[in-house]
Amino acid sequence: MSIPFFVFFACAVLAIAGALVLIVSREPIHSALALVLVMISLAILYLLLGAPFIAAVQIIVYAGAIMVLFVFVIMLLNAGVEERTNWSKLAKYAGLPLALILLLETAHWLFHAPIGVAIANGPGAPAPAASTTQLSLELFQQYLFPFEATSILILIAILGALVLARKEE
């Protein structure tokens, strides 16, 4: 069993475990940490997939910024253990089966749908690790407009966040 397989399985197990913890734990902060775990393991998978830049961004932005923000808010609101209320019968009874169906469907999709097949047996061969230069070129030439758009989006988001979170005098 070669190294990539090992890494993959380790990360996969970690990620799934993290997701499960996220679901099971009733302490928001634990969920957050679990999610961070998932993200980090995903980042490693990205490395494995030859996308170091994405991996780094994943960690910096997701784990380093977004999740910190989550933790920060959790701490700020001192969000305690989540209480057990089940008013939504629908969610209670339909949720799990539905999600499972979705999962199966997706799996079926991936394996039996033509596209899925095409990719599943697709070239697993290690493509040269996407160098940051190529990526940046792609980003700033082909996808320039979306890039600008997102920047504006972020600006708007900042303003919105400020407006929302400001205490009304």
Partner 1 sequence: MPILSHLWIILALPLAGAAINGLFGKRWPQSAVNSVAVGSVSLAFLAVLELVREFSHLAQDQIPYVGNYFTWITAGSFRVDFSLQVDQLTIVMLLTVSFVGMLIHIYSTGYMAHEGGYYRFFCYLNLFMFFMLTLVMAANLIVMFVGWEGVGLCSYLLIGFWFLKKSAADAGKKAFITTRIGDLGFMIGLLLVFWTFNSESFGEIFLQAGHMRAESATHVGVLTAICLLLFAGAVGKSAQLPLYVWLPDAMEGPTPVSALIHAATMVTAGVYMVARMHPLFSRAPIAMFAVAVVGAVTAFYSATIGLVQTDIKKVLAYSTVSQLGYMFLACGVGAYAAGIFHLMTHAFFKGLLFLAAGSVIHAMGGEQDMMKMGGLRKKIPITYWTMLIATLAIAGIPGFAGFFSKDEILEAAGAGPHANLWLWLLGVIGAGLTSFYMFRLVFLTFFGRPRFDEHKVHVHESPKNMTVSLMILAFCSIFGGWFAAPHLVGGTEYFEHFLHPVFSSYAVQAATEQAGSLAGNPGAEGGMASSPAMELLHALTGWPVIVGILGLLVAWWFYIKKPEAPKLLAQKIHGLYLLLLNKYYVDEIYAALIVRPLLWISTNVLWHGVDQGLIDGIVNGSARVARESGGKVRELQSGNTRSYAAWVVIGAVGFTVLLLGILGMVVH
Partner 2 sequence: MSVVPISWYLVLSAILFGLGVIAFVFKRNIITIFMSIELMLNAVNLAFVAFARARNQLDGLVFVFFVIVVAAAEAAVGLAIVIMLARNRESLNVERINLLKF
Partner 3 sequence: MTALAYLTWFERKVVARIQSRWGPYYVGAHGLLQPLADGLKFLFKEDVTPPASDRFVYLLAPFLALSLALTAIALIPFGPPSVRFPNGQSVFVVSDIDIGLLFLFAITSIGVYGVALAGWSSNSKYPLMGSLRSSAQMISYEVSLTMSVVGVLLLAGTLNFNEIISRQSGHFFLHWNVIHTGYGYFPQIIGFLCYLTAAIAETNRIPFDLPEAETELVAGFHTEYSSFKFAMFFMAEYANMLTVSCLATILFFGGWLSPLPDSWHWQLYLPGAGLLLLGLYTAYDTVANMRGIAQLQFAVVTALALGGGAICLIPVVMPIIQGPFWFTTKVLVFIFFYVWVRGTLPRFRYDQLMSFGWKLLLPVSLANLVITAFVIILPKLGHP
Contacts (CB under 8 A) with partner 2, residues 123-142: 123-127, 130, 134-135, 138-139, 142
Binding mask 101-140 for partner 3 (x = CB under 8 A): ----------------------------x-xx--------
For residue 115, the minimal CB distance to partner 1 (Å) is: 8
Q: How far apart are CA 126 and CA 8, in angstroms?
A: 14
Residues lying near partner 1 in the complex (CB under 8 A) are found at: 87-91, 94-95, 98-99, 101-102, 105-106, 108-109, 113-115
For residue 90, the minimal CB distance to partner 2 (Å) is: 9
For residue 1, the 8-state DSSP code is -
User: What does the DSSP assignment read for 102-168?
Assistant: HHHHHHHHHHHSHHHHHHHTS--S-PPP--HHHHHHIIIIITHHHHHHHHHHHHHHHHHHHHHHSPP
**Residue 113 interacting partner from partner 3, partner 1, partner 2, none (CB closer than 5 to 8 Å by kind):** partner 1
**Contact, 43 vs 59, CB < 8 A?**
yes
Using the CB atoms, write b or e for 87-102: b if 16+ within 10 Å: eeeeeeeeeeeeeeee
Q: Where on the chain is the footprint of partner 3 (CB under 8 A)?
A: 27, 29-30, 33, 36, 40, 43, 52-53, 56-57, 59-60, 63-65, 68-69, 71-72, 74-76, 78, 129, 131-132
